[in-house]
Amino acid sequence: MTITIDQTQIAHEEEKKMAPVEAGELVLDGGFAVPSQRKASVEEFYRLNHTHQTFDFVKRMREEYGKLDRVEMSVWECCELLNEFVDESDPDLDEPQIEHLLQTAEAIRKDYPTRTGSTSPASSTVNLGKVLLHPSFGQLPQWAVVGDTFPVGCAFDQSNVHYKRQPEYSTKLGVYAEGCGLNNVMMSWGHDDYMYLVAKKNKTTLPSAGLFIIRYHSFYPLHKSGAYSFLMNEEDKENLKWLHVFNKYDLYSKSKVRIDVESVKPYYLSLIEKYFPAKLKW
């Protein structure tokens, strides 16, 4: 299959990324410059994130939230919960998460109107794990829900955004074996890994690439810099191709064009029904 991306739009975004960075700005993965007035809060966010995201912390979160014993609700009900949140780690987005979720999904749908394979269904559910910010889910702090993700249990790569972390593990492989497969790697805890657990344990029929997109869409050190590729197996390498496709839409679909949620809702309900049960355990 030939993958077509809007090159004009991407070129425009690349020009923005290459523009001189103003004094006091912080540049994050994806090339987005954080305005000086937000620099301190973003730096503090990643200081907390890199300090507290330890191997033991992730193991504890996976055990606790992997029980899926908090609530039963549909995928769309979860989408509506996201109206209450704005991702503080995202310097390019000040709108509720459901807006960006549908912007990305609609951009993919526009280019692939007849395809409902890996990217389309994943794009409509990829950020649902951000319900971890909700009181019903423990109201976790933002550093435990959003932001770029990275493997724990091995050396901290310098390609990680705002690299200042003191390494918990000093060796390249740490507790892992080369080529072990990302499915066997503990990633920093957040909405990506949580939604992956929700989808998998609720027996989604999403293909492997769809689950890969959900779990690793914030893993910028890998899909931007190629870091940690020594942990990948052959299936990971194939799925990474689809993550690169998704990520271009995820980065370049953020816009001020509002989505008429009610008009697109029937399409996404039918897509969700194809890949997920009516009610999921969360």
Q: What is the mean pLDDT of the chain?
A: 82
User: Is position 4 within any domain?
Assistant: no
User: Is position 242 within any domain?
Assistant: yes
User: Is position 84 within any domain?
Assistant: yes
User: What is the pLDDT averaged over residues 216-234?
Assistant: 96
Give the range among 36-50, 143-157, 177-191 with minimum mean pLDDT: 36-50
Domains contained in the chain, number: 1
User: Is position 34 within any domain?
Assistant: no
Whether the predicted pLDDT of 96 surpasses 70: no
User: What is the pLDDT averaged over residues 208-233?
Assistant: 96
Q: What is the pTM of this model?
A: 0.82
pLDDT for residue 247? 86
Pairing between strand 280-281 and 33-34? unpaired
User: Is position 1 within any domain?
Assistant: no
Whether the predicted pLDDT of 10 surpasses 80: no
pLDDT for residue 116? 56
pLDDT band at 4 (very low <50, low <70, confident <90, very high): very low
Name the maximum alpha-carbon separation found in the chain.
Answer: 52
Domain that holds residue 235: 41-281
User: Is position 36 within any domain?
Assistant: no
Residues in a beta bridge with 26: 34
Whether the predicted pLDDT of 255 surpasses 50: yes
Higher pLDDT pick, 11 / 121: 121
User: Is position 219 within any domain?
Assistant: yes
Annotated binding-site positions = 100, 191, 217, 250
pLDDT for residue 101? 76
User: What is the pLDDT averaged over residues 146-160?
Assistant: 94
Q: Cα(200)–Cα(239) distance, rounded to whole angstroms?
A: 16
Annotated binding-site positions for Fe cation = 100, 191, 217, 250
User: Is position 251 within any domain?
Assistant: yes
Q: Which of 145, 175, 196 is nearest to 55 (CA)?
A: 175
pLDDT band at 68 (very low <50, low <70, confident <90, very high): very high
